[in-house]
Structure 1
């Protein structure tokens, strides 16, 4: 039975349609877009369709009334008003677009980089943005005109810099909100570079507000440019809407109609941009997927064949050091997080851990024991403020902790893969399932688009998805949690890693899907001979899947050894308490009292 039926229906048709197609269903947006299309066409071809040269003067046309040859009459200098209006549209729109492009380049790029990396770069960028925002725009533009001359292009480029904080603040806040999202970590683990993550996954989140903000700021740029020209601060030889407005105001008593045409151009264009921005915002809010409700976790219980009953404790390091089959070796690992006001708090306190090639190793403990932080340290994915304070992490003989982010980037996605706890949070809602599987295959393995697609479809089929083509084209909100976890497992094994770290891979799933996912992990591990480190609080998962287990308490490993040895002869009191909490061998709970007995 397909799992598609379990997924909630969240506006799938709207999610697949482009923003432009959705705007076409809005009458107000259609009217505004139609007007802007006309303005765009005029801006491109206006100079060439003008009846006469817009700079040509004639005494007969000085403040002349409209006629067949000159439909809008003449201005105070005897120039054809229609020709100047067509030519001015090109100059005015081009100047406003220049300001917008400069603002986008400075603000968006700066906001993406500062928001993503944070730290000193974030502080300096925010400080510079505050200074730019504090500058009085009109004073800066007047000073620029005095120093550089009355050039519309120079003025608009400077005004673009003054507009850039609007983009910077918008993007910066949005990026800070998503840079620690699980799907961003998943992209890092998949082997994607920072530039690709920023350009694809981070920018994808903020592109909608950028589009809306761009429409609004373009209208502001048109208005400010027209205001400067109206005040006579521009180049009078270049036809602009503001210059025509200035000329019409000077002749307001002789020919007030001269003010009508540039006023309509400025006002209607600005209104149309605002209407499109508002319609786009409404459509994006209406079609945004609603968050899916999380399933309640359920325990899995099973048994496993007998294994050798030799227990290795953390203080017995001989087996940890001399085993030649060790793939991942962690020694004396200390992970700490900075505290406000100085100092740090240790969350992992001197952990020793070995994972052998082809082995399934369970890292078990209650919530807050430090097991997930240990896994994140191995992956190089500690949250902001977290750092490795002491110890070492070796993978296949190479130190990961000493070489910095570069060493992690060379192994993540290629040799070490990750299966996260929250399947829906680790898939980017802006992209289809297929695109998120294909991207790492192309980046890490260098496959062509066709080869990557074929391999992704084969992987989806292998992990038990009944309709791979449907899942490949679906968005994350269109599939169930169990299917999303299968997709993430497919992505984890897609590049044939030597080690897979699975962090609570079944916690968010119901009991039936849990068993299926565990069977899948076990089968894939046997097929590919890869090592698996499973982080869990569930002894049922350990019993069902693992060869060895390490028990964590309060940031330390208190007992380690083969699974059956730990189950049959636990020696540490914490391990005994965890096993004692399993209800299978304990006394049954008393039946619940009826409501009548309680109220009696």
Structure 2
């Protein structure tokens, strides 16, 4: 029998857990009950109201409660309960219109501006600042004079005026989230930007947006009631504000008329705020779950690559003659020639952190790119993948992947290569798994979007991959959340994800750095096994010469953004030519003879 992932019950799904947390909270339960009661009563007004909201009989003016008229009558002999119920339809409906306009205008634009940055971000901020500088009450009064007193029109205008609040809130959060490593992992897996924003980014703004929704809804209800209370709102149909206006005019005669619309406004606004807070807490609650490690952001990678680079071309001059392959030789999976990577500085200049790198990876071989932190290894790998941090760009050179030039390639072109042609295994495995989704979900989604598999097919393939990377209980790992698995298992999950689209070139960036020695050995054995079975090319970015000795066919040594020595692993480890290589060997291996990869596996070193 094949392993399958059992379908979780409703109580075990994220929605089911959220609902349980919400109803366990006293404030959440109370506010939900109050709001549901108010909305249900308003929607069922035709069934619950004793009569029409505008039906009046002057003989009943100011009459108290009686059979069938629980709240009595107002100054025009209209039933107070009927006007309260029908008035709620107009008041809540108007607030819903304002809220809908604000959400439609503010959230998508904030999402795109925060994720894309650049001129879109600048244009969005300019427009938001312009709208926010307008005096809301003056604009509403002017709109009433031009467009008429219809409450629906005024609520559309109000929605337009408060949309910048959603824009700025969402934009600020997304600008931070876009640098998370799991967002880069989703990009490298081949997911479209629109899918990444909807799946991995939008979920991070839901809590603040929920709170903002409650606040804006309360403002819309209060502002609409205020306009009606002042007598400058719509005269069509009952509203709670209109009821307040009528009650205030007859305050000396029957002060109780102020109670019911005021109570309805207060209860609705309070219930909205309390429910939003409880729902936000229920969605974001991790009190009963082990906390996931705080994800690092891609900016840290940029810091690594830009650390005090003072390299000069002398490093290349000192290198032996076999440092780079001949320029004419451009065969293989990956061919890098003269690669330069720079970052824009505050004074407008571009500071290069990678200087003229030449590198080749052929089918069926593992090439180690080794050097100390800040040498530019990760920046070189990111250039191949097209995921350089913000501000970084390729300033020169050529990068061919399967003969296709990727320098200057747009995001769509890079996405066509990622996953299916070039896959990526990052360092810090826990930071590259989105804590908001299960392990299985993060494996299934790229296969569904890129390969067009059904959910059932992608699930079975994910289980097979988990088995191939030697995870003991694939169905259990499939259902687990990232915080429920170990670092070694998380790294295996990332390797499974990288292998899921059958890539031909694998870039592994420090895949064992965050693991203990025993797990490191297991992951290295797994990488070697998968590479031999699938005959893929591997670019292994590492600072560990022991890993190079154990795994690599060839090695390139990088220092301060330049390649200073390349060669067969045997030659570089046993007969290093460059003083920096000898320094690395002395520091890392501590005079211990290097293991030769041909001692542990059959490799043609001729």
Normalized against structure 2, the TM-score is what?
0.89
Check the 8 A contact 1:42/1:90 in 2, yes or no: no
Q: How many residue pairs are counted as aligned between the two chains?
A: 558
1:539-558 superposed matches below 5 A: 539-558=545-564
Per-residue deviation, 1:291? 4.2
1:321 pairs with 2:328: yes
The residue number in structure 1 matching 2:213 is 214
In 2, Cα distance between the equivalents of 1:252 and 1:293? 58
Per-residue deviation, 1:20? 2.6
1:243-392 superposed matches below 5 A: 243-283=242-282, 286-287=285-286, 290-292=291-293, 313=321, 317-318=325-326, 321-322=328-329, 324=331, 326-392=332-398
The residue number in structure 2 matching 1:228 is 227
In 2, Cα distance between the equivalents of 1:15 and 1:62? 54
Per-residue deviation, 1:166? 2.1
Per-residue deviation, 1:554? 0.9
The residue number in structure 2 matching 1:75 is 74
Structure 1 residues 79, 136: closer, same or farther in 2, change over 3 A?
same
In 1, Cα distance between the equivalents of 2:173 and 2:16? 23
Per-residue deviation, 1:502? 0.4
- Post-superposition CA distance 1:534-558 (Å, at most 9, x none): 0000011111111111111111111
Per-residue deviation, 1:65? 2.1
- Post-superposition CA distance 1:435-459 (Å, at most 9, x none): 1000001011110000000000111
In 1, Cα distance between the equivalents of 2:58 and 2:23? 48
The residue number in structure 1 matching 2:314 is none
SS in 2 for 1:390: strand
In 1, Cα distance between the equivalents of 2:108 and 2:472? 42
Check the 8 A contact 1:15/1:287 in 2, yes or no: no
Structure 1 residues 30, 247: closer, same or farther in 2, change over 3 A?
same
SS in 2 for 1:24: helix
In 1, Cα distance between the equivalents of 2:460 and 2:324? 48
The residue number in structure 2 matching 1:203 is 202
Which of 437, 440, 452 is the matching residue for 2:446? 440
The residue number in structure 2 matching 1:306 is none
In 1, Cα distance between the equivalents of 2:577 and 2:213? 65
- Post-superposition CA distance 1:281-330 (Å, at most 9, x none): 44456526634399xxxxxxxxxxxxxxxx98555533x63364x11111
- Post-superposition CA distance 1:430-479 (Å, at most 9, x none): 11111100000101111000000000011111111111111111111111
Per-residue deviation, 1:77? 2.4
1:165 pairs with 2:164: yes
The residue number in structure 1 matching 2:457 is 451
- Post-superposition CA distance 1:516-537 (Å, at most 9, x none): 0000001011111111110000
RMSD, aligned α-carbons: 2.0
In 1, Cα distance between the equivalents of 2:65 and 2:71? 5
In 2, Cα distance between the equivalents of 1:39 and 1:312? 81
Which of 457, 476, 501 is the matching residue for 2:507? 501
Higher relative contact order (CA 8 A, sep 6+): 1
In 2, Cα distance between the equivalents of 1:125 and 1:241? 36
Normalized against structure 1, the TM-score is what?
0.90
The residue number in structure 2 matching 1:304 is none
The residue number in structure 2 matching 1:50 is 49
Unaligned runs of 5+ in 2: 1-10, 296-318, 594-606
Per-residue deviation, 1:494? 0.4
SS in 1 for 2:244: helix
In 2, Cα distance between the equivalents of 1:14 and 1:357? 43
Check the 8 A contact 2:322/2:567 in 1, yes or no: no
In 1, Cα distance between the equivalents of 2:392 and 2:591? 40
More off after superposition, 532-541 vs 101-110: 101-110
